[in-house]
Amino acid sequence: MGPANETELAELIRGANGPLDLRGGGTRVAWRPVRGEVVSTAGLSGVHLYEPGALTLVVGAGTPVAEVERVLAEKGQRLAFEPMDARKLMGTDGVPTIGGLIAANVSGPRRVQAGAARDVLLGVRFVDGAGQVVKNGGRVMKNVTGYDLVKLMAGSFGTLGVLTEVALKVMAVPQAEATLVARGLGTAEALTTLRAALATPFDVSGAAHAGFGGGETLLRVEGMAGSVAYRAERLRAGLCAGWDLVEGAESAALWRAVRDVAALAGSGEAVWRISTVPGRAAGLTAALAAGGLGHRALYDWGGGLIWLGVPAEGDGGAAAIRAAVQAAGGHATLVRAPEAIHDRVPMFQPQAAGIERLAAGLRARFDPKGILNPGLMGGRTREVAA
Amino acid sequence: MQMPAPDPHVLARKPELVARLRAVLPRDAVIDDPAETRAYECDALTAYRCPPLCAVLPASTAEVAAVLEICHAMDVPVVPRGSGTSLAGGALPTGDCVILGVARMNAVLETDYDNRFIRVQTGRTNLSVTGAVEAEGFFYAPDPSSQLACAIAGNIAMNSGGAHCLKYGVTTNNLMGVTMVTMAGEVLEIGGPWMDPGGLDLLGVICGSEGQLGVVTEAVLRILPKPEGARPVLMGFASNEVAGACVRDIIEAGVLPVAIEFMDRPCIRATEAFAGAGYPDCEALLIVEVEGSDDEIAEQLEVILAIARRHDPVALRESRSADESARIWLGRKSAFGAMGQINDYMCLDGTIPVSALPEVLHRIGEMSKHYGLEVANVFHAGDGNMHPLILFDANRPGDLETCEAMGAEILKLCVEVGGCLTGEHGVGIEKRDLMNVQYDPVDLEAQMAVKDVFDPKWLLNPAKVFPLGASAGRREGSRAAQ
């Protein structure tokens, strides 16, 4: 179903008694533990307010990301968190929406410098599981009026409510960008250099390494032209001696590939997204390999984000990966897998009992009928849900 | 300002409560002598005072858990307290509460420059977090004006900001994990030195919950490499409108200063008389600061100064030395002290869309005439966070009430133009009863539902944030169950 506006969506949810499968463009999370009636927010589209001089954009949650980017580009601005386009990796073909991005808290390589999707989310309107329209936050940069449900909604994957409108802080597109490129570095050495670069005052806005296929290591700086040249030079004079320099469109293309995890697109592997302590990333993947897990790893955020492609068999590496991540600190999300694996592996890393109790309590309060993407978060599998 | 009447059942059980607290804490960590509890009767919102039943000063997460378990079992309200610098009454006690002060928990537990984080106990002051890492060239970004005194615990409770959050964000953007004790005494580890949560963003809702969801005892904070340098430029303008337009144009040009501060004429005059920073006598003044190497600073300032010149500045002063930079900041940093020198004042904290600035300042001027109280405006212009200071005389009967009425009207105006009641100070008791202006009952219910989950008995800092009428059923529910 595709409600045309917030009121229709609220009526629909008030009247619903069975599970709902809530979607923006349906490009990111293909799997659901409980099959439900599909509800698309694509009808809730449109720019409600745009003030370039205040860096503020308010849009309907169903607005296509491409439309948001087009509107911003006209004024030389953009979404600073560099959201990935998941379609190639996931093999999906819908139209990505801004609400879907926010519901999944999708952040790309610039996360290390500009923050996550949740960090630029200023306000939300949503329909909760009882069909009530709730607002929180606003459209100003600083707002501590009451509880920050804005953050809670980001990354809640529709389980606490269906976003209808989001207010975002946007940023200017900088004059220039440059990327330093090294080839053939070992993972440990590459990540050590990336971390060291992130600890310089040179405002690095991208730090990625491919652990396979000839392994490029990338460092990006952005800003005013003179400043970019200066910082790239300082890095090449020190940490990155001998690295190549790539600028402009060529640099941007490198980062689109990192952002969209292009190197794992189209393969038959199961794909994991791991958030961990950057300095423990190399050890984590090495231990998994030593334990017999064949994998291909891409590293972003200086090692803080690992994309892991593993053979799509058995549990897709779930037991080994989740145990290793638990030990190192962080969490692992099963992003892409055949149904057979998805059905027996919870998508999100199981959490400590006390935390899961709070999360379950929140879901029960915001979705008393248990109909909003039921079971998607909270460690359930289809086997358990069925 | 109304506060709920103390619960006679709790008052009657004070001796038992104190005995049980003494059994789990060192002798000097339980304060119950009325002569000593007085030290905790207020925070920086000094117009309201009430000594607590007793105060405790635990030194570890385990001691905090023990205290909360006892209070939970005995249905005693608990008001957590950082350094007591809240301007919103966030740490104001009730007569039947235990003040839980985190001041003794001020250790640095771990510094990790390779992964760029520090783990501290939350009684540590904001500035001393930076102090612990600056020798290695790092800093902790959120910088509230009270940073010398305020504790990280309070920063997390109020999601504190500061002058430099235009570039670096506020507390929530720099907080990676917490150790938190629930009202029932359960110790939870939420988040850690990695990015983004693995489930619902509980950390995001804990930050800014004004001590109502749990007591945060330890925090993992993001630290950043210090920029190579920073330089402010001072600009004077003939009107607030022109200064506002200049701010808009700077932001629209794509330069991102770390700070854009604004002062109006009454504020300039007062600070000039107090601090003698050499500010020009003009209607509106901006301080814009940029960071980087010398060449990078020059590159940014060239753009910024060109924009400023298009707005016919009456003064334009670029710093050429550390001493000149300090002088440019001197007046701004003395603004609150200067006001305190002349008068009692009430400091508001609403945020407005930057585009509404001229209209809001104009209407505040009209209110000032109507109420007969002077207002000086100083604020973080880059992000629209206003700090109107209403001057009044606490010794003149009725002045405080007039001041509060005018303050409420200014905050309503902030909401009316698309802003909010509080940008960085928090709701506390000060703005509690104005929450209905910004939020509908269903919006407040959704927020209170979060507290229901974290603190079902509503014992943690219960009379804050939500209008008393809205939270009455929940607060009294726990008593009725006795």
The answer to whether the beta carbons of residues B221 and B176 sit under 8 Å apart is yes
A322 touching chain B per CB within 8 A: no
Q: How far is A153 from chain B (nearest CA, A)?
A: 8
* % of chain B with per-residue pLDDT over 90: 82
Nearest by CB: B420 against A143, A304, A378: A143
For chain B, what is the radius of gyration of the CA atoms? 23
Distance (Å) of CA B358 to CA B245, B352, B412: 9, 11, 16
Q: What rounded mean pLDDT belongs to chain A?
A: 95
Q: To 10 degrees, the CA torsion angle through B23, B26, B31, B35?
A: 120
Q: How many CA atoms lie within 13 A of A282 on its CB side?
A: 17
On whether the CB atoms of residues B215 and B80 are closer than 8 A, the answer is yes
Interface of B with A in 36-55 (CB under 8 A): none
Quote the mean pLDDT of chain B.
94
Predicted local distance difference test score (pLDDT) of residue B1: 79
Lowest-pLDDT choice from B18-22, B53-57, B72-76, B252-256: B252-256
Token look-up 């200066």 returns: A230
- Contact B386/A at CB under 8 A: no
Give the torsion sign (CA, B307, B309, B314, B319): positive
| Cα angle: B62, vertex B65, B70; to 5 degrees | 130
Bridge partners, B189 (sequence order): B179
Residues contacting residue A338 through CB under 8 Å, at least 6 positions apart: A270, A312
Residues 452-471 of B with CB under 8 A from A: 452-454, 465-466
Picking from B193, B207, B354, the nearest residue to A53 by CB comes out as B354
d(CA A318, CA A115): 28
Handedness of CA A251, A256, A261, A265 (dihedral sign): negative
pLDDT tens string B394-433:
899 999 999 999 999 999 999 999 999 999 999 999 999 9
Torsion region of A94: left, alpha or beta (phi above 0 gives left; psi -120 to 50 gives alpha): beta
Q: What's the CATH number for A176-259?
A: 3.30.70
CB contact under 8 A, A305 and B195: yes
Q: How confident is the model at residue A386 (pLDDT cuts 50, 70, 90)?
A: very low
Q: Across the strands, what pairs with A52?
A: none
- Mutation site, A113, A145, A321, interface B, largest B CB count within 10 A: A145
Cβ within 8 Å of B, A 1-30: none
Q: Which CATH class is domain A6-172?
A: alpha beta
Q: pLDDT at residue B479 above 90?
A: no
Handedness of CA A345, A347, A351, A354 (dihedral sign): negative
User: Which residue in A142, A277, A377 is closest to B161 by CB distance?
Assistant: A142
First vs last C-alpha separation in chain B: 28
Q: Could you confirm whether domain B230-335 is CATH 3.30.70.3450? A: yes
Topology at the third CATH level for domain A262-342: Alpha-Beta Plaits (3.30.70)
pLDDT tens digits, one per residue of A78-129: 999 999 999 999 999 999 999 999 999 999 999 999 999 999 999 999 999 9
Shortest Cα distance from A263 to chain B (angstroms)?
22
**Which residue of chain B has the CA closest to A355?**
B188
Measured between CB atoms, does B158 come within 8 Å of chain A? yes
- Looking at the partner chain, which of A136, A144, A352 has a beta carbon nearest the beta carbon of B422? A144
- Per-residue pLDDT, averaged over B118-131, amounts to 98
Angle value at C-alpha B77, between B73 and B82, nearest 5 degrees: 120
Q: What is the pLDDT of residue A51?
A: 94
A361 contacts B453? CB cut-off 8 A? yes
Q: Which residues of A touch B88 (CB under 8 A)?
A: none
Question: Looking at beta carbons, which residues of chain B come within 8 Å of A142?
Answer: 161, 165, 170, 351, 380, 383-385, 423-424
**Contact indicator for B97, B209 with CB cutoff of 8 Å:** no
B455 to chain A: nearest residue by CA?
A358
Average pLDDT in the B92-101 region?
97
Nearest alpha-carbon partner for A300 in A153, A30, A106: A106
Interchain CB distance below 8 Å, A142 and B439: no
Residues making up chain A, counted from first to last? 386
Whether residues A172 and B256 touch (CB distance < 8 A) is answered with yes
Average pLDDT over residues B275-282: 90
Does B442 reach chain A within 8 Å, measured CB to CB? yes
Whether residue A136 and residue B113 make contact (CB cut-off 8 A), yes or no, is no
pLDDT at A137 over 70: yes
Are the C-beta atoms of residues B378 and B387 closer than 8 Å to each other? Answer: yes
pLDDT in tens, B181-201: 999 999 999 999 999 888 999
Cα–Cα distance between B205 and B403 in angstroms, integer?
A: 32
> For chain B, where do the domains classified as CATH 3.30.465.10 start and end?
108-225
* Percent of chain B predicted with pLDDT > 70: 99
Where are the domain boundaries for CATH 3.30.70.2740 in chain B? Answer: 343-427
Which region among A7-16, A186-195, A224-233, B333-342 has the lowest average model confidence (pLDDT)?
A: B333-342
Q: Do residues B45 and B154 lie in contact, with contact meaning Cβ atoms separated by under 8 Å?
A: no
Whether the pLDDT of residue B277 is over 90: the answer is no
Instruction: Identify which of A51, A198, A366 has the shortest CB distance to residue B353.
Output: A51
Note whether A145 contacts B295, CB cutoff 8 Å: no
The two domains A6-172 and A262-342 share their CATH topology (first three levels equal): no
Q: What is the pLDDT of residue A385?
A: 47
CB contact, 8 Å: B422 with chain A? yes
Flag whether residue B314 sits within 8 Å of chain A, measured between CB atoms.
Answer: no
Give the pLDDT score at B390: 94
Cβ pair B225:A199 closer than 8 A: yes
How much is the pLDDT for A214?
81
- Chain A residues touching B248 at Cβ < 8 A: 53-54
CA–CA separation, A295 vs A68, rounded Å?
A: 36
Structure confidence at residue B478 as a pLDDT band (50, 70, 90): low
Given the candidates 3.40.50.150, 3.30.465.10, 2.40.50.100, 3.30.70.2190, the CATH classification of the domain at B108-225 is 3.30.465.10
> According to the 3-state scheme, what is the secondary structure of chain B?
CCCCCCCHHHHHCHHHHHHHHHHHCCHHHEECCHHHHHHHCCCCCCCCCCCCCEEECCCCHHHHHHHHHHHHHCCCCEEEECCCCCCCCCCCCCCCCEEEECCCCCCEEEEECCCCEEEEECCCEHHHHHHHHHHHCEECCCCCCCCCCCEHHHHHHHCCCCCCHHHHCCHHHCEEEEEEECCCCCEEEEECCCCCCCCCCHHHHHCCCCCCCCEEEEEEEECEECCCCEEEEEEEECCHHHHHHHHHHHHHCCCCCCEEEEEEHHHHHHHHHHHCCCCCCCCEEEEEEEECCHHHHHHHHHHHHHHHHHCCCCEEEECCCHHHHHHHHHHHHCHHHHHHHHCEEEECCCECCHHHHHHHHHHHHHHHHHHCCCEEEEEEHHHCEEEEEEEECCCCCCHHHHHHHHHHHHHHHHHHCCCECCCCCCCCCCCHHHHHHHCCHHHHHHHHHHHHHHCCCCCECCCCCCCHHHHHHHHHHHHHCC
> What is the rounded CA–CA span in Å between residue A101 and residue A114?
16
Amino acid at A13: I
Q: What's the rounded Cα separation, in Å, for the pair A107 and A115?
A: 8
Q: Mind listing the pLDDT tens digit for each residue in B361-395? A: 899 999 999 999 999 998 888 889 999 999 999 89
Q: Closest Cα partner for B348 from B107, B106, B45?
A: B45
Q: Which residues of B touch A147 (CB under 8 A)?
A: 205, 208-209, 447, 450-451, 465
- Minimum Cα–Cα distance from A116: chain B residue: B196
A75 Cβ contact list (under 8 Å, min separation 6):
A50, A52, B252
Give the pLDDT confidence of B13-57 residue by residue, as tens digits: 999 999 999 999 999 999 999 999 999 999 999 889 999 999 999
Break chain A into its structural domains and give their ranges.
Answer: 6-172, 176-259, 262-342
Query: What pLDDT, in 10s, does the model give residues B307-346?
Result: 999 999 999 999 989 999 999 998 888 887 888 777 888 8
Q: Is the pLDDT of residue A67 over 50?
A: yes
Q: Do B427 and A358 touch (CB under 8 A)?
A: no
Per-residue tokens: A186 = 């070992």
- pLDDT for the residue A383: 54
Residue B285 vs residues A251, B84, B332, B381: alpha-carbon distances, Å: 40, 32, 10, 11
Chain B contact probe: residue of A143, A153, A163, A165 with most B CBs at under 10 A: A143
Three-state SS across chain A? CCCCCHHHHHHHHHHCCCCEEEECCCCCCCCCCCCCEEEECCCCCCEEEEEHHHCEEEEECCCEHHHHHHHHHHCCEECCCCCCCCHHHHCCCCCCEHHHHHHCCCCCCCHHHHCCHHHHEEEEEEECCCCCEEEEECCCCCCCCCCCHHHHHCCCCCCCCEEEEEEEECEECCCEEEEEEEECCCHHHHHHHHHHHHCCCCCEEEEEEECCCCCEEEEEEEECHHHHHHHHHHHHHCCCCCCEEEEHHHHHHHHHHHHCCHHHCCCCCEEEEEEECHHHHHHHHHHHHHCCCCCEEEEEHHHCEEEEEECCCCCCCHHHHHHHHHHHCEEEEEEECCHHHHCCCCCCCCCCHHHHHHHHHHHHHHCCCCCECCCCCCCCCHHHHC
- CB B205 to CB A330 under 8 A? no
Q: Name which residue leads in pLDDT, A233 or B198.
A: A233
Q: Do A155 and B385 lie within an 8 Å CB cutoff?
A: no
Mean pLDDT for the stretch of residues A325-348? 94
Nearest 10 degrees: CA dihedral of B82, B87, B90, B91?
50
pLDDT class for B481, splitting at 50, 70, 90? low
Give this complex's ipTM. 0.97
Q: Does B292 touch chain A if contact means CB atoms closer than 8 Å? A: yes
pLDDT reported for residue B355? 83
Sheet containing strand B187-191, edge to edge, reads: B108-112, B117-121, B215-222, B175-181, B187-191
What does the alpha-carbon distance between residue A124 and residue A121 come to, in Å, rounded to a whole number? Answer: 8
At residue A380, does pLDDT exceed 80? no
Domain B343-427: CATH class, spelled out: alpha beta
Q: Cβ of A201 under 8 Å from any chain B Cβ?
A: yes
Nearest to B133 by CA among B148, B115, B118, B149: B118
Both tokens of A260, joined, read 């969209």
pLDDT recorded at residue B480: 55
- pLDDT given for residue B482 in this prediction: 47
Residues of chain B with CATH 3.30.70.3450: 230-335
Q: What is the pLDDT of residues A147-191, one digit of tens each?
A: 999 999 999 999 999 999 999 999 999 999 999 999 999 999 999
At residue B152, φ and ψ (nearest 5 deg) are -60, -35
pLDDT value, residue B279 = 93
